[in-house]
Structure 1
Amino acid sequence: MKKIAIVTATRAEYGLLTPLIRRIINDKELKLELIVTGAHLSDKQEYTINAIYEDGFPISHIIPILEGGNSAYDISATMANAIRGFARCFRDDRPDMVVILGDRTEMLGIASAAMNERIPIAHIHGGEITEGAVDDCIRHALTKMSYIHFTATEEYRNRVIQLGESPNRVFNVGSLGTENILNEKLMNENEIRDDIGISLDKKYSVVTFHPVTLEDETAEDQARTICDVIANRIDIIFVITKANADKGGEIVNRIFEKFSEKYRNAILVHSLGMRKYLSAVKFAEFVMGNSSSGILEAPVLGTPTVNIGDRQKGRIMVDTIINCPCDRNKILDSLDQVRKIHRNKTRIYGNGETSKRIVTEIKNIFDNGIFLKKGFYDIGRLGGK
């Protein structure tokens, strides 16, 4: 039986990984090793590890890595802590494969520890582009450190191959977010409104805004711009989820906290969890902000997105997304335009069987043999041979 370690460090990432965690638990040939770290263990993030306990998943290791703040130094120190903590974990309890998702900085430290222990890495959501965030180079670095790749679209698969990874180890499986949407029993509109505290006669939007990590000290000004927009649209209730643990995240959260105390059309929540969040998005008039959920999940539900700034620049954008700069008047204009968008549901991210396909390919990789001395697949000079 092969031991598969799945690492989760944030609430959003855990929500995406949930169907894969369940499938590995129920597979007779694989054994789950769930490793919880990062923001899950932070009081500032309200200990989202509790959501994992509530779901009943067995946790194999808890590894604290976060520094006290989220300055550039703190982020670097967290990465160093991840290397140290996961090096000990992998030395003492070595899995047969480590599964990581996305592009967060701590994952670079975790992947480094796995690479040094010669543990093959399976990477989910490679090949994507987010030009406005440091996540972009982190994601591509993780691609080169990984052995097997699971992308959300064929375009992203081709980009991973362009980075020199063999097509035999790169699989377009769709997105786990789509699987959650198509297979999870979501709350009905009355239930989610009652849970959040929104009356049926009020239109509402879901707002998720994170600092743009490749811009200098813009988080405060951009968060205040978002607040100014909300203050000018008292006809809509704005459900604001707190920013993640990136550099500048604490500043954004403080601004939203003070604003929501003053304005009745702003409701600040820390974390809705996967089911509540998707339910809220499903019945929202639109989502607003710069989160990947507005690009990857909202379109699957058919909910329009007002995507602000460059944080997600480079991702595939479907017709239900409006892009605009972080400018008060342009955002307000976009809120007028978003009402005209048809709520067409996209299926470019798969048919809801992503976790099944991931598990199948992981088992195939073990059956065929793993050879960590992977060559560079040069599609130019060698003509793809």
Structure 2
Amino acid sequence: MSRRICIVSGSRADYGYLRRLAREIDDAPELTLQWLVTGTHFTEKFGSTYREIEADGFTIDERLPMDLADDTAGAVARATGEIMVRMTDALERLTPDILVVLGDRYETLAAANVALLLRIPVAHIHGGEITEGAFDDAIRHAITKMSHLHFVAAEPYRERVIQMGEEPARVFTVGAPSLDNLIDLQRLTLAGLEARVAHDLGEGFFLITYHPETLGAGDAAAPARAMLSALEAWPERRLLVTGVNADPGRDAVAATFADYAAAHPERVAMCASLGETAYFSALALCGAVVGNSSSGLIEAPAIGAATINIGDRQKGRLRAGSVIDCSDGIDDIRAAVSRALEPGFLDACADREPPYGRGGASARIKQKLQSADLDGLRIKRFYDLLADGAQAHG
């Protein structure tokens, strides 16, 4: 009997990480792929990105839009509670053998919680990481404790998952799955990208990927305004601004970008969802990535782009030499951008080993999903790290 593997996707961001894994599963005769699609995929202002899944030839088995009345913390909390009820019904219909979740989103936490209660083994991708500037950090670690298989992006993250009491035999260092998408990517030319976004970009444009710092105090949009002010030091370079995610504070940040674009229509192009090909092409073509997205730490270095990482949202994650950290002050941002644009900056970083691997993660994950002992997975033992050695407790 074919093993049913259900993948949960809640946004355009995690789909980019999961797409190649889904193809690996779909192509394996011993496995049956299922899709549970939720989060912002069905929201028009985020690009109705469920269409990307269908355009890739996949069938969406369960469609669970999330009703986010606004971007307040209360709305997010209520929507997370409500989606758990519908996820319970969906997973009881699908009866997967393993549920695959990625990362640290609140809809992912809901899915892992439901699977735990339904005794469905959970496989978690990208655990063990630290992002001190967002509540994603706590969500990620909570999902780790509800999961039965762990696929981490780097060896320090494996050690951290084990530190949380997970058995070493269940924790696998596979690299970042999103890097698999770069292996045979048919990149757009600058003209092709400009046609896709319907805007002239020119050489050396800035790619802006900025999201709210959910643990930050005060005005969520203030760092975005500071970033835009700092980039005015390079008026000849245009800005390609990607969509803001659905975290609390999202509306204020998105409005800041929209207002700036309206005031500078010749300079700013905005796109709710670029899609994988256009986004990775933009990474390859831009002068620098500016913002606080994880893509600036994972995909940008692999593709050869410099990253200016603003604030604390990604604090704690591994970094390549091409990532420049700075505060959200105008002068600090401007200094970081100046450094990234220096001749020879990227060349000086080129020989370093990328912290998230060089691809192949999806095939490694598929193999483990295929060979895992399902009966043995359901019973977890806490793995203690003691002064005189480690010992597992049942």
Q: Give the TM bin, normalised by the shorter chain.
A: over 0.9
**Counterpart in 2 of 1:28?**
29
Note closer, same or farther for the CA distance 1:110–1:282 as it changes in structure 2 (3 Å cut): same
**Structure 1, residues 262-304: CA drift from partner, whole Å, max 9, x if none?**
1122211111011110110011111000000001110111211
Deviates more, 1:143-152 or 1:106-115: 106-115
**Counterpart in 1 of 2:383?**
377
Q: Which runs of 4+ in 1 moved over 3 A?
A: 196-202, 343-347
Matched, 1:364 2:371: yes
**Counterpart in 1 of 2:41?**
40
**Counterpart in 2 of 1:333?**
335
**Counterpart in 2 of 1:342?**
346
**Counterpart in 2 of 1:7?**
8
Number of matched pairs = 384
CA contact (8 A) 2:209 2:242 kept: yes
For residues 101-250 of structure 1, the aligned pairs below 5 Å read: 101-197=102-198, 202-250=203-251
Amino acid at match of 1:296: I
CA contact (8 A) 2:99 2:123 kept: yes
Q: Identity of paired residues, percent?
A: 36
CA contact (8 A) 1:299 1:320 kept: yes
CA positional deviation for 1:198: 5.8
Match for 1:268 among 267, 270, 274?
270
| Structure 2: unaligned runs, 5 residues or longer | none
CA contact (8 A) 1:212 1:218 kept: no
Give the whole-Å Cα distance in 2 for the aligned partners of 1:233 and 1:248.
28
Give the whole-Å Cα distance in 1 for the aligned partners of 2:289 and 2:322.
11
CA contact (8 A) 2:318 2:355 kept: no
- SS of the equivalent of 2:44 reads coil
CA positional deviation for 1:221: 1.3
Give the whole-Å Cα distance in 2 for the aligned partners of 1:117 and 1:66.
24
Note closer, same or farther for the CA distance 1:153–1:101 as it changes in structure 2 (3 Å cut): same
Note closer, same or farther for the CA distance 1:210–1:200 as it changes in structure 2 (3 Å cut): closer
Give the whole-Å Cα distance in 2 for the aligned partners of 1:202 and 1:351.
27
Give the whole-Å Cα distance in 1 for the aligned partners of 2:132 and 2:77.
20
Matched, 1:351 2:358: yes
Give the whole-Å Cα distance in 1 for the aligned partners of 2:120 and 2:175.
25
Amino acid at match of 1:274: E
- SS of the equivalent of 2:341 reads helix
CA contact (8 A) 1:202 1:235 kept: no
Deviates more, 1:179-188 or 1:111-120: 179-188
After TM superposition, the score normalised by the length of structure 1 is: 0.96
Give the whole-Å Cα distance in 1 for the aligned partners of 2:297 and 2:332.
19
Give the whole-Å Cα distance in 1 for the aligned partners of 2:184 and 2:177.
10
After TM superposition, the score normalised by the length of structure 2 is: 0.94
Note closer, same or farther for the CA distance 1:148–1:336 as it changes in structure 2 (3 Å cut): same
Note closer, same or farther for the CA distance 1:42–1:200 as it changes in structure 2 (3 Å cut): closer
**Counterpart in 2 of 1:53?**
54
**Structure 1, residues 35-88: CA drift from partner, whole Å, max 9, x if none?**
111100112213111222222211111012232111010110121022111111
CA contact (8 A) 1:122 1:146 kept: yes
**Structure 1, residues 171-225: CA drift from partner, whole Å, max 9, x if none?**
0001111111123222234422443356585320101100000012331212221
For residues 85-100 of structure 1, the aligned pairs below 5 Å read: 85-100=86-101
CA contact (8 A) 1:9 1:39 kept: yes
Amino acid at match of 1:322: I
Give the whole-Å Cα distance in 2 for the aligned partners of 1:229 and 1:351.
33
CA contact (8 A) 2:121 2:377 kept: no
CA contact (8 A) 1:12 1:274 kept: no
CA contact (8 A) 2:202 2:237 kept: no
Give the whole-Å Cα distance in 2 for the aligned partners of 1:348 and 1:332.
26
Give the whole-Å Cα distance in 1 for the aligned partners of 2:129 and 2:283.
23
| Structure 1: unaligned runs, 5 residues or longer | none
Give the whole-Å Cα distance in 1 for the aligned partners of 2:232 and 2:263.
10
**Structure 1, residues 218-273: CA drift from partner, whole Å, max 9, x if none?**
31212221222233321211111121111011111111111101112221111101
CA contact (8 A) 2:320 2:355 kept: no
- SS of the equivalent of 1:236 reads coil
CA RMSD of aligned residues (A): 1.6
- SS of the equivalent of 1:374 reads coil
